[in-house]
Chain A
Amino acid sequence: MANIKEYTKLPQRLSGGHRLCGGCGASIAVRQVLMGAGESDVIASCATGCLEVSTTIYPYSSWDGSFIHNAFGNSAATMSGVEAAFKGLQAAGRIPADKDVKFVAFGGDGGTYDIGLQSLSGAMERGHDMVYVCYDNGAYMNTGIQRSSATPQNAWATTSEVGSAKDGKIQHRKDLTSIMADHRIPYVAQASVGYWKDLVEKAEKAFNTPGPAFINIMAPCPRGWRTKSEDTAELARLAVDTGFWPSFEVVDGKWKLTMPAKIKKDGLKPVEEFLKPQGRFKHLFKPGNEELLVNAQKSVDDYYAYILKRCEEE
């Protein structure tokens, strides 16, 4: 696959009419990921969350193919069970040995970085032939924008409030993609819904890699970020362009930077460009809070330098 025309000919695996918000990054992530599966059958699972409640309102399903929702913290374990059943049924001669099915588990950042981390780690370590996709919008959006370990430092959330004594979330965000890379599974990638071609290609690699694969996707949430629906794609690109969300992949332990060519050439944009349109960061731009912005830029610079080092660039 190479161009947008060819992608548009692929089956649409998440039908319209679901109840996700306009501009929701999660639905864009799902559609782009599933394009990577080509013509194969796909069985999907999803952690409890916006994506699940909005696409599987019983008895309706937006998913083309079998789908399972189990609970919040176990999308990975559940799909590992489906994949094991597939192998067991093949060993018993109950289904053909050449049956072509792709297994994919989805979860938001709450269901992946936090409550589902053990389940994800276990499934990846066991080597199931499946893809795990985290759509990271940086908070528990389904329950009403509570902070998660993926919430950026100093971001506002309903459990990391901004007030006279607090400046939003105190802690750094967790670097889940590196944690997954350190599981030494065959394929790990970080991508963004703003760079669709890069994301679909990474999904394609993930699906075609035998064994476990993990993709972490920047998926803006207009409701939680306090942004306009029509700005989702642009914000998702700015997340990458500013180095807040570096684009890279790790193939068989080899790290490779997959940043847009123009950023590689001209350097990162200032993180302010990513933060300023977002209501959750508006206190960073108030007089007297200049230090918070300096910290945000330093945090991004440090993380990007670390990623460059692992990719053996610079």
Chain B
Amino acid sequence: MATQTTVSETGNSFVATAYRQVAPEALFAYPITPQTTIVEEFARYVANGKVKTEYVTVESEHSAMSACIGSAAAGARTMTATSSQGLAYMWEELPIAAGLRLPIVMVNTNRAIGAPINIHCDHSDVMAARDLGWVILFAENAQEAYDHTIMAIRIAEENDLPVMPSLDGFITTHSISRGEIMDDETVTKFVGVHQPKHSMLDSDNPTMVGGFSTLGNTYMNIKKALRDAIDASLPSIKSIGDEWAAQTGRSFDHVETFGMEDADEAILVLGSAAGNVRAVTRKLRGEGRKVGMVKLRTYRPFPAAELADVLKGCKSVAVLDRSDSYGAIAGPLAIDTMAALFKAGVDVKVRPYIYGLGGADVKLEFIESVYDDLADLSDGGLNPGLTYLGI
């Protein structure tokens, strides 16, 4: 019988608890703000005998992911956590983890990439890793970060894909919030024991990992298999989310909405700013405005059809990106959304915004101004294109 305990903890503490409950056989840790308190709390669990994990303090993020790849190829349940420059530093290893189809789970605490150096939240780190074959989840709050971390183990091991649950730096990682922690036994049962299909440690079936793929079309065939796997993971993520929801009572959807049943104008957002958008949406709906909000919990694979379906009744939609794609027509989420709408044949006006870079304030009046912009757009006003919000 699943038993949950209500706690008030930081987002990182929720994540560290999930790591303890998941109990990976190997964890590779390198400190970077604002991820540090995850690996610090886990170190205390190791020191106090709460987990038997082989806890390895590597000398860099490049080595963290390199060692994760060796560990996962050896058949161990393998985890790490990172942020920002650390994610950038291990970039070389990210497509290798995916190309080798290794079920590594790495929480990313979303933080701006330099320059200029900045330690606060945006999505420029995680977005630079979006096209490499990793499953990427965005949490709005500590509770979702906890749930995603536990789900990620199953998603990774059932789809042979690396998974990156993300939560917003400081806003979610360091704020104390209220939420529910599942009992250890239920989590243990939910994640099960990792049964790798191949292990370098299987002496009877030695395996070559990472051979030189140059004969015939082996490289392209392997890359096609990765594309098929990440596409196929979309229903798998949903069903794992549903199975976890049956234990927790907290639903999971790739695309979550508020007020979208009759909205003319909608705002699409990822991560913690969904809270700001929801608050403004609720207020304006109270005043009789037909507005709605949409947030994605699954970003890769991109739930394009579901998103297009949710937006199809709107006149206009604003897409809020917390990172830019310099030189492209908009930020990454906006580009994905426009493509999804085009593919589905849904004719909705899209206005792209960039907000909150390097932890810049996301004031409620900014969100309200976006809804005003959209109302004008719905009425035939000009779409000025990419707009930096609040400056």
Contact = CB atoms under 8 A, between A and B. Distances in A.
Nearest to A69: B210
A50 B241 CA distance: 46
B373 to A, nearest CB: 46
Contacts of A121: 59
Interface stretch (A76-84, A158-166, A213-221): A76-84
Given A56-B208, A118-B63, A125-B59, A78 B69 contact: yes
A67 B74 CA distance: 10
A67 B56 contact: no
Contacts of B26: 81, 84-85, 87-88
Contacts of B218: 58-59
Given A66-B201, A94-B25, A81 B69 contact: yes
Contact of A85 (B25, B59, B193, B207): B25
A119 B215 CA distance: 30
Interface string A47-62: 0000011001111110
Most buried by B among A60, A71, A81: A81
Contact of A70 (B76, B210, B212, B214): B210
Contacts, number: 176
Given A74-B62, A81-B71, A69 B54 contact: no
Contacts of A57: 211-212, 214-215
For the side of the interface on A, what is the size category? 35 or more
A101 B218 CA distance: 31
Interface residues of B, number: 45
A129 to B, nearest CB: 12
Nearest to B210: A69
A245 to B, nearest CB: 28
Contacts of A86: 74, 201
A71 B207 contact: no
B201 A71 contact: no
Most buried by B among A74, A79, A85, A86: A85
B210 A126 contact: no
Nearest to B26: A88
A270 to B, nearest CB: 41
A89 B201 CA distance: 10
A65 interface: yes
Nearest to A91: B52
Given A66-B206, A88-B76, A101-B201, A81 B212 contact: no
B66 A61 contact: no
A231 interface: no
Given A45-B70, A80-B70, A58 B211 contact: yes
Contacts of A36: none
B93 A71 contact: yes
A94 B201 CA distance: 11
Interface in B280-332: none
B248 interface: no
A82 B57 CA distance: 14
6 contacts: A43-B200, A69-B212, A73-B62, A77-B63, A83-B70, A85-B25
Interface of B: 24-26, 28, 52-54, 56-60, 62-63, 66-76, 78, 92-93, 96, 193, 200-203, 206-215, 218
Q: Which 8 pairs across A and B sit closest by C-beta, in order of nearness?
A: A81-B70, A122-B59, A81-B67, A88-B25, A88-B54, A85-B76, A58-B211, A85-B74
